[in-house]
Chains A and B, each alone.
Chain A
């Protein structure tokens, strides 16, 4: 049986008295994009650095392509993009990429990859003079140039401008189509929703929920509208089918949950008409990963 890209069981990592990863269990399938989503300090980077073989761990087990992290057999098979650093400050962008390409047997041509990531005109610029976004893109290029089976991307789009973010997303999409397994960390829920086949939401070093973005956000929809604050929600609820819920949060922002269908919409608008309430921004939406995170942890993602 083919081993998963990454298999983590009961992982624990402590720094002194702080427990950064607290019994984390996660399986990343081959050929899929797995997003580890969580707020800063949730243990995302510790987890990924353990998988990369850079950090020791205190308990649990980790297998990367069936091997222990840091196994010499993984060096050519796994590409990695650290959150920052890892590149000599004075080396030119093109030189760094060509150098890394020479460590591999069948690399993607460095020039084509620079071109693809919009770095061609910066090929002769020393690393320290590149903008933050350009440095990130160069780091991404170095992670994939050796045509690895598995790529770890630690916060690949943190601090990028929208254009660079899209370039990064496109590359992740292409990697996925080419059959590369991708494990990335992010605290952007739109990034996880858009890129990932599998999302693991982590908080305080544990997986609190996981699944496909659709299964996490569920089929449940919400009706949202704005109106004057202080509407009598109990009266509204009595008009709605049993099992519905209504809340005002913050003042003037209303959310109705339950079986959001045309008759519910009609009931709500009819009630508003009899109350003389004009609604604004009335919409029916799916829950977002942000909502899921808030429900699970009682805290905002960022």
Chain B
């Protein structure tokens, strides 16, 4: 203890400008995501390993260069890992430990907190995209198509997965969210067309998989970046529908404590 330190406690309350508060909170969330080993495994390490492994090893029977097929799917998986899995788990534990309640009562407010979370997710996704694109390019990736459509898919995918993640985090116990979000990641990794085309699945389930958010996302990304197609309307519509439904439901059911 240093009793010599004299501090000025004279009341001088006031909120900082919203932009500064959101930037500070987003910075803290980004640092937390990049420091968490388990999260890094899902958001960076597994996507990079899948990208390298399935591009190099002759496991896939796809037309053209394997990396051209794998890279779009892995980019979609990376977006899901951050917007859904990472966000659900982190938010679930923040709720459990009363952090959401506490931050909502500071000048940051609940709206500021949600803006900061969105900003943090988009920043980490940008980092993932940079890393994965660089790795894919060194593996000989030659993307085609209009990157604007890929960006739009990523935005809608982020909205849909964030809605689903917050729906889980805001209603389930933190431990259930942890288990559930990891399980969904694994199931989606298997069924979402990340490294296999949806046509490789049994005909009975294939149409259904295309309406799951990750199935629509990977199909859309591939249609743009591998096949150079125009606007991937089906994928955009499916993701928009998931985003609207999940965000609306999360907003209605979310419990802050």
Residues on A lying within 8 angstroms of B by beta carbon are: 52-54, 70, 72, 75-77, 80, 82, 84-91, 95, 99-100, 102-106, 108, 112-113, 115-118, 144, 146-149, 163, 167, 170, 174-175, 177-180
Contacts and interface: CB of A to CB of B under 8 A. Distances in A.
Contact of A88 (B5, B8, B94): B94
A194 B65 CA distance: 77
4 cross-chain pairs, A with B, having the tightest CB-CB distances, nearest first: A105-B14, A86-B102, A85-B98, A178-B9
Contact of A76 (B1, B10, B13, B31): B13
A75 B9 contact: no
B105 interface: yes
B235 interface: no
Given A72-B109, A99-B25, A99-B28, A167 B35 contact: no
Nearest to A53: B105
B21 interface: yes
Contacts of A147: 8-13
A163 B107 CA distance: 32
Given A88-B28, A89-B93, A104-B15, 7 more contacts: A82-B98, A103-B16, A112-B7, A115-B2, A163-B1, A174-B9, A178-B10
Given A104-B107, A118-B1, A118-B2, A179 B24 contact: no
21 contacts: A53-B105, A75-B109, A76-B13, A76-B107, A84-B98, A85-B102, A86-B101, A89-B93, A91-B28, A103-B106, A104-B107, A105-B12, A105-B14, A116-B2, A147-B9, A147-B13, A148-B11, A170-B3, A174-B7, A174-B9, A179-B11
B20 interface: yes
A95 B29 CA distance: 11
A108 B9 contact: yes
A179 to B, nearest CB: 6
A180 B12 CA distance: 10
Contacts of B32: 88, 90-91
A103 B24 contact: yes
B99 interface: yes
Contacts of A146: 13-14, 106-107
Given A75-B105, A88-B94, A178-B10, A99 B24 contact: yes
B181 to A, nearest CB: 17
A88 B103 CA distance: 10
A102 B20 contact: yes
A144 B9 contact: yes
B97 interface: yes
Interface string B202-231: 000000000000000000000000000000
Contacts of A84: 98
B36 interface: yes
B256 to A, nearest CB: 9
A72 B108 CA distance: 10
A149 B14 CA distance: 10
Contacts of B25: 99
Given A75-B15, A144-B9, A100 B106 contact: yes
Nearest to A86: B102
A147 B107 CA distance: 13
Contacts of A95: 28, 31
Interface in B137-175: none
Contacts of B14: 76, 104-106, 146
Interface string B46-76: 0000000000000000000000000000000
Interface of B: 1-3, 5, 7-16, 20-21, 24-25, 28, 31-32, 35-36, 93-94, 97-99, 101-102, 105-109, 257
Nearest to B25: A99
B5 A112 contact: yes
Contacts of B98: 82, 84-86
Contacts of A112: 5, 7
Contact of B97 (A77, A85, A103, A144): A85
A37 B102 CA distance: 24
A87 B99 contact: yes
A189 B232 CA distance: 70
A82 B15 contact: no
B11 A105 contact: no
A88 B107 contact: no
Contacts of B24: 99, 102-103
Contacts of B94: 88
A100 B20 CA distance: 11
Contacts of B97: 85-89
A179 B8 contact: no
A108 B35 CA distance: 28
Contacts of A53: 105
A103 B9 contact: no
A145 B190 CA distance: 49
A129 B140 CA distance: 46
Nearest to B96: A85
B120 to A, nearest CB: 13
A106 B15 CA distance: 8
Given A85-B97, A102-B21, A80 B105 contact: yes
A209 B9 CA distance: 31
